[in-house]
Amino acid sequence: MRRSRRYLIIWLLLLVVSVLPCEVNAQPAAALVSVRRSAAVSFSVQGRSESGAQPLQAEPSIPVGTVEFKSVDSQVLAQAVNYAIYLPASYADGKNSYPVIIFLHGLFEDERRWAEKGGKEVLDRLIAEKKMGEVVLAIPDGGRSFYTNAFDGGKKYEDFLVREFVPFVESHYRVKPGPKWRALSGSSMGAYGALKIGMKHPEMFSSVSAHGAVLISKFPDTDTIQPNTREARYLQILEGPFGKPFRRDYWESENPIRLAEHPEKFRNVKLYFDCGDRDRYGFDEGARELHRLLDEKGFPHEFAILPGDHGWEFLKQYMDRSLVFHWKYFGK
């Protein structure tokens, strides 16, 4: 009797198995389909669960923006300047306008670095998690300029940024006009540029942020710098925008730490800056000095020394802080 029952159970199982493939394979192409609605949105459809029992519902992935690489003709610089522009997922709809963040890259980088090193993914994620809304983000190629008007009267990158690039972005892309919808940010050399330009042109930006800025409270005596050293190489780079031979007085006149001695000149700008506690160039000392000075002057700001070194590994960890910071002050 037990043996007969066992055979009956086996026979029933075989019958069920013989029926299942017809149902499961009715739509074989649905086993794993990637569907692209647009350049900005994608999702996947699973044909069945691991048990093969029921099809799964399509689950939207993170809506992603797009990055375009273009150039603009500059009359100030008398040359074409490359730039990158991040457009949010809904930009293609052609309806909305957005706040804009101008991001300044670091030394030995260009306008492509932000997208190549993961900046786009950070911004996409923050928008998807609703920690901030959609924005346009523009990155000009700043070369090795320190975003400074060269002492010798040559390339005037500060003028290019303020007089040409910002107006160009506002006239060619759907961004909300006016300083209350505009922010300035940067990393390393670009962070130096963001602080300096934000302090010198506070009428242009609602908020400014800086990650690992090149902040030097006291520049070393150039006579003590030995040839063929890292310091000599940096001095050679600085001679481009700051005069050859290096003009310490011009450097100091552009130094954010010196500009911060008169915070009443940029009193309406919201300011955030940070640096790694193991910054290999020692820029954390300059960041602490800037924080101390602003505190002494009673200027409200957000500041942090965070675990990490210098560059993109640090930036990818903490860029969300500045992006959310800017979002908080847009429109105010």
Q: What is the pLDDT of residues 267-284, one digit of tens each?
A: 999 999 999 999 999 999
249 domain residue, yes or no? no
Identify whether residues 155 and 299 lie together within a single domain. Answer: yes
Identity of the residue numbered 105: H
Q: What sign results for the dihedral spanned by CA atoms 259, 260, 264, 267?
A: positive
User: Does a structural domain hold residue 145?
Assistant: yes
pTM of the model: 0.81
User: Looking at the structure, do residues 149 and 270 belong to the same domain, yes or no?
Assistant: yes
Mean pLDDT of 108-125: 97
pLDDT at residue 11 is higher than 70: no
Average per-residue pLDDT for the chain? 85
Are both 81 and 56 inside the same structural domain? no
Of 319, 329, 266, which is closest to residue 297 (Cα–Cα)?
266
Q: Considering 61, 85, 113, which residue would you say is the last residue of a domain?
A: 61
Percent residues over pLDDT 90 in the chain: 74
For residue 198, which amino acid is it?
A: G
Residue 81 inside a domain? The answer is yes
Q: Are residues 194 and 79 in the same domain?
A: yes
Percent with pLDDT over 70 in the chain: 82
More confident residue, 167 or 48: 167
Query: Are both 43 and 98 inside the same structural domain?
Result: no
CA distance 210 to 261: 18
Measure the CA–CA gap between 86 and 145, rounded to whole angstroms: 23
Q: Is residue 109 part of a domain?
A: yes
19 falls within a domain? no
In a domain, 17, yes or no: no
Question: Is 291 a domain residue?
Answer: yes
In a domain, 223, yes or no: no
Residue with tokens 């890292």: 230
Structure tokens at 177: 């006009």
The residue-averaged pLDDT of 254-269 equals: 97
The range of the structural domain enclosing residue 186 comes to 66-214+256-329
Give the number of other CB atoms < 10 A from CB of residue 219: 14
For residues 46 and 117, state if they share a domain.
no
Residues 176 and 284 in one domain: yes
- The domain that contains 111 carries what CATH number? 3.40.50.1820
Q: Are residues 44 and 160 in the same domain?
A: no
Whether residues 50 and 100 fall in one domain = no
Q: Taking the CA of residue 193 as centre, how many other CA atoms within 13 Å lie in the half-sphere pointing to its CB? A: 33
User: What is the separation of C-alpha 155 from the centre of its chain, rounded to a whole number of angstroms?
Assistant: 25
Q: Quick one: 132 and 161 in the same domain? A: yes
For residue 34, give the nearest of 64, 61, 67 by alpha carbon: 61
85 in the same domain as 149: yes
Residues 158 and 209 in one domain: yes
Domain count, the chain: 2
Give the pLDDT confidence score for residue 60 in this predicted structure.
Answer: 55
Is the bond leading into 245 cis (omega within 30 degrees of zero)? yes
